[in-house]
Structure 1
Amino acid sequence: METRRLVLTLTGILMAVIVVIGGLGVILLASGGGDGDDGPSDGDGLGERVEGELRLFGPDPITLDPACASDAGSAQYIVEIFSGLVSFDRDLKVIPDIAADWEVSDDGMVYTFNLRSNVLFHDNSRPVTANDFKYSLERALNPATQSTVGEIYLDDLVGAAEFRAGDADEVSGIRVIDPQTLELTITEPSAVFIEKLTYPTAYVVDEREVGDATCFEANWTLTPNGTGPFKMEEWSLGRKIVLTANPRFHLEPAPSLERVTYILSGGSSFVMYENDEIDITGIGENNIERVRDPNGDLNADLYESPSLSVFYIGFNAREAPFDDANLRNALSLAIDRELLAGEILLDLVVPAKGILPPGMDGYNDSLPEIPFDPDTARDLLEEAGGPDVLDGATILTSGQGATPSIILQAVVAMWEQELGVTVTIEQEDFGLFLLDLDKGRFEMFSLGWIADYPDPQNFLDIKLHSESANNEAGYSNPAVDALLDQANRETDEAARLELYQQAEELIVDDMPWAPLYHGKASYLVKPYVEGFVVPPFVIPNLRYVTINR
């Protein structure tokens, strides 16, 4: 869930822990400052455990406002505190959530949702109504809210464009039929509209609490009045987040855990796991061989699973010199993906040959691998103007430390060795990094994308259609747009996936991104934690978990 621009950078933890959502549920099994063997736990003084408590290491969220979240680190909390009309189950099927059921018109454009009558906000003050959803959806779309994601996930609604432009006071495609009935009308049939409604921009929030708050007015999120399986008990900034079970949650199974404590500070999460301070941790390259040893003391705790994600280097295709596909392909062909995935990341990831990850519907197994071909790379670089066109080039990344990720350093070293070019890595605070991406203030950037929902549209259309607000690279190819538009309208599933594969082939030829690898989740779980899995993207997950000491 960018992300769910569910957003992940290559800096940080070397994808040891795949996450995560933004993607982004997939819990961000972060390794703190790294999961190295020599970093002690800092000791957080959180006190004795309570019965039925799950302890995790987590990031300090950028936001807990569902209308505003674009990163998986924030989304992992939001999906537990809030809820919407529909959600995903663990089989990644869309299921009723606050909506008891829904009907779709024969033309595929009108969705009528019948709300459950027993869904209360966490303060138990009143039930959720269709008017609450109308307020929440329009708030996410309202330019005054300053959401960067509302338009992306709710633009199918009739009247959304007019509302955002200020030409209408409400979204005409959102109709309250009665307190328990909501009607949503979209501009054309869509195979993924119902899946888009699982994204937090469609979650319900309490108007009495939120009012006119923008994405930059977040005081209300310290004590949010949600409807999800867990309630906010405490958010101590930079220290911990404590969630407690919602005893009136409307879906089965209801939460078994009494509370979930996220430790937001500390040293190595791996050391914290060994010290029994947390119950689950991701595993990085420093410890993966030890953990994979069948005779090792932690091998029985090891779980590995796929993640619907891609990590890549993006190019600013709007401006020279990166508007030249020859240059972009030259840089891509000078990257040894097998070396990155195998020798540096110790097979914690899978080398990428395209945009769509393995396991995704529409994944093209016959797509040729992107070779490591320095000779062709040098020829293409000469066609693009030679090494001098990259004089002073920079690659933007997000990072909190002084040292960029080893992956990014390795890529830059490959470019210098194979192409004779020097590229400087520039690190920024995550918030500024996202802002610079939105404003196009970069030459190259490193980023990751984790599925918001398991459909090629979520990767290809949202990230690479020329009219998408989330197309940071500024990539534009009319032939690709036409294929994506046709795929979005196609109702035959096989034909739709074929169109996405055709679009992906053109995209890979143009190389607006240099895809590096697809993630896998490698993590440790204490034996007394039952029912925990890492889904391939961020979904509500913790209500299935029990503690059995």
Structure 2
Amino acid sequence: MQGKKALRTQMFAGMLCLMTLLMAACGQSGSTGNVQKAADDQQIFKYPMSGKQDFGTLDPALVQDATDGYAIQAIFTGLVEFDAQGQVQDQLATSHTVSADGLTYTFKLKPNLTFSDGAALTAQDVAYSINRSLDPATKSAVTSYLSLLKDSDKMASGAVKTLIGDSIIVVDPSTIKLVINQPAAYFLQTLTYPTAYVVEQKLIEKYGTAWTDHLQEGGGNGPFKVQSYNHTTGLILVPNEHYYGKMPQLKRLEMPFSGDLDTTYKAYLSKQYDYTTLTAAQVPNSKNRNDFHENPTLVTRYLSLNYLAKPFDNIKVRQALALALKKELITKNVLQDSVQATNHMIPEGMYGASKNLTGPAGVTSVNGDAAKAKQLLAEGLKEEGLSSFPDVTFTYYTGNSSIKKITDAVLSQWQAVLGITMKTNAIDFDALIQAEGATTGHADPLQVWISAWQADYPDPQDWLSIYFEKGASYNNNNYGQNNSTSAAAQQAVQAKLVAADKETDVTKRAQLYNEAEQQLVNDVAWIPLYQSVNHTLINPKVQGYVDNALLIIPPDDWSKVYIAR
């Protein structure tokens, strides 16, 4: 789940299915009719962590990567969670109410909740966990998910030391109130992000920052608990006998580190794993397999330019780079027509997506305008007092062969149309996340890079505000936070995003986001490349496993998954 990453996706995905506001899952493994369940000693699901040498973190307060989040969401839960259709449902809470002014949310907890070690879980633990995520000492880069809480800004600045008793109010052991600073239609959705998940205080106090290395002692409250965690080989989970919901049928959920996607694919074919994500090159030969699945996902692949790194402080230079790309050549030649080229940031078909969006400078085509791109580059470099394009480094991440191919295609088009070249820098995905954070407020370490955004929740706030508002956790390209001649115009867009976040009228809110997105596209806040669905192979013996648009497994849905004979 921005800031997701927020949950940042490093998985390749293909052509976007038509989505409605509440996306229905389109891929399910196997059939549950007349299928006999295998013996308990065969109830093992081997789900590989492709592209990972280790988890970046298993701490819910720190997670930014989708792969880390997948493991975390099996071990921990929060007050509310998404179901498979993207609808918020009570989780640890048995019910919730909202005050008439829309500012106070009251949650009643399910009775007799415990952690995975059997210790009682109360409203005080919920308060501790949310407060801990916001505590500057925790060093979370994703506190923006909780920024709606009243006085969270004061805690971030050190003006207050805790929000417990302020906007986080423990009424009694089974009741907690959360007070926000403005009405927000998306507040419950933000609480589905792991920063609001409940962790066990005594384990953290015992082991400090190394507490997630000791999760076999407790700490979680989800459907699974940690049996073992090896930083070299991976994670093994077993059912949490203290889980408050429906118990998993699986006896082991293995998450081994499996190498890059090509290596993982080959290992799947040799029956080492039960699941693999496919690259574009693997999709055509896999479509007729009985274990092939595809499902819509809220993922946008994009390029980012650092506004503090010259010459990207110049809007004409940024627009030139965007308009020099023929995106359909990339989606056809590199990605086998398995994705949809786009100028959109917000996925088409989702609430808040504009039907009338154009590319930069009013160009409607996803294939840009080469003549206009050349003109804009010449004008932009002249304004910057440059006779030629300066030395610039393009950073991409390893673990997915498609990313290198996309990078090569982009650089080739920029060289052919604009006559510019860039050096390249290949780093692993976790290193890219760290570098993005370090780029906020600075001209380096990143200048140009490729990444993707996977939605934490299906709302335009999770696509625009979380990236481009003033001080947003993921404003790594320094939009509106620079001294360029267009900084004031960018700041006006940031103000519009704030207004959209506060707007409660659904139609007006969508219009504000539409206007802001168009301005962001004109400013080349991102260069969107394509939208995605997930292509996978899943062992036919795995029954009841459903991929959905958010790429999450709701906690209680693990009870439906089992291995057939």
Distance in 2 (alpha carbons) for counterparts of 1:247 and 1:314: 45
Distance in 1 (alpha carbons) for counterparts of 2:372 and 2:220: 55
Partner of 2:22: none
Partner of 1:478: 491
Q: Deviations over 1:432-453 (max 9, x none)?
A: 4323222222211111110011
User: Is 2:129 the partner of 1:133?
Assistant: no
Partner of 1:115: 109
Partner of residue 371 from structure 1, selected from 345, 367, 382: 367
Distance in 1 (alpha carbons) for counterparts of 2:172 and 2:404: 53
Partner of residue 285 from structure 1, selected from 280, 287, 301: 280
Partner of 2:44: 53
The answer to which of 259-268 and 170-179 deviates more is 259-268
1:515 maps to amino acid = P
User: Is 2:405 the partner of 1:406?
Assistant: yes
Shift of 1:213: 6.5
Going from structure 1 to structure 2, the CA distance change for 1:216 and 1:260 (only over 3 Å counts) comes to: closer
Partner of 1:265: 258
1:344 maps to amino acid = V
Partner of 2:529: 516
Aligned residues of 1:54 and 1:261 also touching (Cα < 8 A): yes
Aligned residues of 2:304 and 2:449 also touching (Cα < 8 A): yes
**SS of corresponding position for 1:501:** helix
Shift of 1:221: 4.8
Partner of 1:29: none
Partner of residue 337 from structure 1, selected from 327, 330, 333: 327
Distance in 1 (alpha carbons) for counterparts of 2:475 and 2:391: 24
Aligned residues of 1:256 and 1:546 also touching (Cα < 8 A): yes
Structure 2 unaligned runs (5+)?
A: 17-24, 26-38, 359-364, 481-489
Q: Deviations over 1:223-270 (max 9, x none)?
A: 55200011111112221311112233223x432222211221357222
1:47-196 matches, within 5 Å, as 50-58=41-49, 59=52, 60-124=54-118, 126-150=119-143, 152-171=144-163, 172-196=166-190
Partner of 1:39: none
Aligned residues of 1:241 and 1:262 also touching (Cα < 8 A): yes
2:526 maps to amino acid = W
Aligned residues of 1:404 and 1:425 also touching (Cα < 8 A): no
Partner of 2:34: none
User: Is 2:417 the partner of 1:418?
Assistant: yes
Shift of 1:388: 4.5
Going from structure 1 to structure 2, the CA distance change for 1:444 and 1:146 (only over 3 Å counts) comes to: same
User: Sequence identity of aligned pairs in percent?
Assistant: 31
1:54 maps to amino acid = F
Partner of residue 560 from structure 2, selected from 541, 544, 549: 544
Structure 1 unaligned runs (5+)?
A: 19-25, 27-47
Aligned residues of 2:102 and 2:184 also touching (Cα < 8 A): yes
Distance in 2 (alpha carbons) for counterparts of 1:415 and 1:212: 54
Figure out how many residues of one structure are paired with residues of the other and give that number.
511
Shift of 1:428: 2.7
Distance in 1 (alpha carbons) for counterparts of 2:46 and 2:278: 17
Shift of 1:335: 1.2
Shift of 1:277: 1.7
Distance in 2 (alpha carbons) for counterparts of 1:256 and 1:142: 37
Partner of 2:503: 490
User: Is 2:386 the partner of 1:396?
Assistant: no
The answer to which of 416-425 and 317-326 deviates more is 317-326
Distance in 2 (alpha carbons) for counterparts of 1:264 and 1:215: 22
Shift of 1:490: 1.1
Shift of 1:530: 1.7
Aligned residues of 1:65 and 1:221 also touching (Cα < 8 A): no
Shift of 1:523: 0.8
Aligned residues of 2:215 and 2:226 also touching (Cα < 8 A): no
**SS of corresponding position for 1:108:** coil
Going from structure 1 to structure 2, the CA distance change for 1:215 and 1:321 (only over 3 Å counts) comes to: farther
Shift of 1:534: 1.7
1:327 maps to amino acid = V
Aligned residues of 1:64 and 1:78 also touching (Cα < 8 A): yes
Going from structure 1 to structure 2, the CA distance change for 1:257 and 1:147 (only over 3 Å counts) comes to: same
Shift of 1:411: 0.4
Distance in 1 (alpha carbons) for counterparts of 2:186 and 2:281: 40
Shift of 1:288: 1.4
Shift of 1:543: 3.7
Distance in 1 (alpha carbons) for counterparts of 2:216 and 2:469: 36
Distance in 1 (alpha carbons) for counterparts of 2:470 and 2:207: 31
Going from structure 1 to structure 2, the CA distance change for 1:545 and 1:388 (only over 3 Å counts) comes to: farther
Distance in 2 (alpha carbons) for counterparts of 1:4 and 1:384: 32
Distance in 2 (alpha carbons) for counterparts of 1:431 and 1:51: 33
Q: Deviations over 1:27-80 (max 9, x none)?
A: xxxxxxxxxxxxxxxxxxxxx993211111113311000001111111010011
User: Is 2:245 the partner of 1:255?
Assistant: no
Partner of 1:467: 471
Q: Deviations over 1:9-35 (max 9, x none)?
A: 5xxx754799xxxxxxx9xxxxxxxxx
Partner of 1:383: 379
Partner of 1:31: none
**SS of corresponding position for 2:115:** coil
Q: Deviations over 1:77-127 (max 9, x none)?
A: 001100000000111110111111111000000011101122210011x22
TM-score if structure 2 supplies the norm length? 0.85
Q: Deviations over 1:180-220 (max 9, x none)?
A: 11011000101111100000000000000012876677534
The answer to which of 87-96 and 493-502 deviates more is 493-502
Partner of 2:235: 241
Partner of 1:525: 538
1:382 maps to amino acid = A
2:44 maps to amino acid = E
Aligned residues of 1:404 and 1:427 also touching (Cα < 8 A): no
1:499 maps to amino acid = L
Shift of 1:429: 4.1
Distance in 2 (alpha carbons) for counterparts of 1:389 and 1:321: 10
Aligned residues of 1:86 and 1:99 also touching (Cα < 8 A): yes
Shift of 1:322: 0.5
Distance in 2 (alpha carbons) for counterparts of 1:333 and 1:463: 22
2:521 maps to amino acid = V
Distance in 2 (alpha carbons) for counterparts of 1:522 and 1:170: 44
Aligned residues of 1:17 and 1:522 also touching (Cα < 8 A): no
**SS of corresponding position for 1:211:** helix
Aligned residues of 1:146 and 1:214 also touching (Cα < 8 A): no
Aligned residues of 2:233 and 2:257 also touching (Cα < 8 A): yes
**SS of corresponding position for 2:106:** strand
Shift of 1:287: 2.1
Partner of 1:229: 223
Distance in 1 (alpha carbons) for counterparts of 2:207 and 2:160: 20
Q: Deviations over 1:303-328 (max 9, x none)?
A: 11111011111011134311111111
Distance in 2 (alpha carbons) for counterparts of 1:229 and 1:109: 32
